[in-house]
Structure 1
């Protein structure tokens, strides 16, 4: 469907031989990571944003795998409430920093 797999290669990863499925994409990722460095590659490829979204979706699903409401308007309200709860939890867990000196 035209999607590109953006999966970081493990540290010390070696290139795969050609007949392996997905070898070309993995080897290209490995070359880019060696050329740019791991941190820059993550920003360049957008991997860091995908990781943040996956983490937030995991948190969202912890509040319930399914939508309990039957009507569409109530489903929207239920999902907005879940998002509000997550935002509040994030706000509570964010430290307040104060500059000293």
Structure 2
């Protein structure tokens, strides 16, 4: 494991990482030099990290959801206990995840007032055309003609529950 890998894995600043690596080398009986943390800091600016992509066998099966992320205002407990004070602002993170590898394959951020269904075609557009999609599983918010058409256009099978007020489509 590299110094940067150790720093990320143990969640330590560069100075502590340099000391930890020096201690590990001393315990191993190795007389190797360890760069000063300031050299590590300068080297970190030009470090190009390549995250390996783990490919699952077979077609890609996507799970799509849109959790809300609060970034301004009271927490839920405080609002319940003391009432809502001031503005609370949210953003939606629209995610498409591969359950076989737990990788997030596509992401879009929108204001909380925007719906889920207009974003699903954009998420599918982030997946390369060369990659075959087997199924797209989403919640009832994505049960629209546009979402179904976008999924079918990619050759995938939509797995979306019918909306509570849903019915059969004509034509």
TM-score, structure 1 as length reference: 0.23
Q: Which of the pair is proportionally richer in strand?
A: 2
Larger radius of gyration: 2
TM-score, structure 2 as length reference: 0.16
